[in-house]
Structure 1
Amino acid sequence: MQAAPQQLSADERALVSDAVGDLTRRTGFPVAFGGILCGGEVAITAIRGARTGALDGLAVRPERGLGGRAITELRPRLASDYRTAKQITHDYDRYILGEGIGTLLAVPVVVAGRARGVLYGAAWSQWEVGGVAAAPAVDVAARLGRRLAELDAHDAAAKPTPETPSLPAPTLPPAHQEELRETYAELRRIAASVADGPLRSRLEQVERRLAGLSGMAASTPSEEPPVRLSPRETDVLACAALGATNADVAAQLGLREATVKAYLGAAMAKLDVSTRWAAVAKARRAGILP
């Protein structure tokens, strides 16, 4: 699965290469690599410190692997023991394990509230990753995001101005987006415990207003037919979107774990996806979740 490298500009490649170099210098990770979205995949175009050529040709799809999850959730993700990690798909094991990587940190590169790429820090053995390494990695990714935004602005200024320019959809900073999602999930949990019909309706109106604040659904219109989830399916998916396990969701919503699994399975079927993370991502694009 190799993205079309000709779609990446020389400037974009240079910025990614600089960021990967900064990542190794500032974090101490012996291996670092990264890339930006191109043709629906993150093409890995810069690699530092690798002992083999196993990482060559790696291209990561959103929602797949550790990097895909970081892109989908817009936050760093860590696998301290990559081989046994259960919270990610292992689509790219032949690349990661082929290099002998034991610990892997993936940090999304965000531009205007959207994932633009991902940077990785890696070690061949299990490595204790704390704030000393994680915080600089986040800083490097944020700096790359700013430089990509500057490059985008420069490219846009060089193009002829359209007669009727459209304004970009409003977005929230990643930290505020995450806070909004947590608030939305908490409100769903409260509403689920309310027996008063009129009061629950008022709470649902507030939920819809919160979902609309993200600006995500309006900025990515879909030609697919609308998906309608039941209230309980939405409740379960909203909790799962925050990383809760089935047992956690069951405790939060006062349900049996088997019931949570059934609701989650039904939501995944309606959304036509095979993993909970893909369901969360598709629900967000459809405006079902913020």
Structure 2
Amino acid sequence: MNRPPVFRKPMFRPAGAPRRSRRPHPRLKGLSINHLLPNVLTVLALCSGLTAIRFAMQDRWEPAVIAIVIAAILDALDGRIARLLNGQSKFGAELDSLSDVISFGVAPAVMMYLWGLNNAGSLGWIAAMAYAVCCALRLARFNSRLGIVDLPPWAFNYFTGVPAPAGAGLVLLPMIVGFEAGPSLAGHPIITVPWTLMTGVLMVSTLPTFSFKGMRVPAHLVVPALAGVGLLAALLVSQPWWTLSGVGIAYLASLPFSVAQFRKLQRAAQIMQEPIAEPEAEAAKAAAEAGKPAAGPH
């Protein structure tokens, strides 16, 4: 009597039969905290910039400026933390630039227009738009050069043009001064319109500016530097608006020194790259300058 087979499929592959290729099951890879934390700080900076616009629409100027300061602090932290945790990514760089356009381009422009530029009519709106466009152009120029060295290696401590957070602080400087000196003078269109336009030009310029991220403090100045940070914190608590005004003026005054130091380093780099001239060529050049024939080899 014939019995049905116990196994419908053979347990063993016959000799010479082709093997079936097994496709690996795709595995979903999540993002680690190291990659997520810098992006979280960037989103918080974006939210702070949007909150500044809300405060400005409610004529709450002081909280609006504080929101921009918080956005600048978060923007400074996300890049540092990304490098410390090895969490840099193209997505994070793009998100950071988009956040900077809102927090340091659109938000300060809206704040300045609602605070003082609207008194200048169409000219004030043109100045506000010009500043926001210059901020977007600066960040677009930065994005287009991602992965490309913008400055030579010896200029690692410089930015090209005024960075976006510093530009936001500079364009808001008349408002910050007006908190203490009164808005009648600091918010006059004669001051606010040229100031806004000048800040936008500084952002898109090729002016070399200090970045301070590569600055090293000598060992004998570490304690005085920490004491200075404590003094600055005390001044921010007691006199925040005069302190922020002083910081903005000091940064503006540092621009000529940054240009002079950059040119000094540039000249030194050019001298180091020049080939060493031969003694005979130097003698011929000196003789030509003196109007005498150069002495040939004997």
Shorter-chain-normalised TM-score: which range? Answer: under 0.3
TM-score scaled to structure 1, two decimals?
0.27
Kindly indicate which of the two structures has a greater share of residues assigned to strand: 1
With normalisation by structure 2, the TM-score equals: 0.26
Structure number with higher helix proportion: 2
Q: Which has the larger radius of gyration?
A: 2
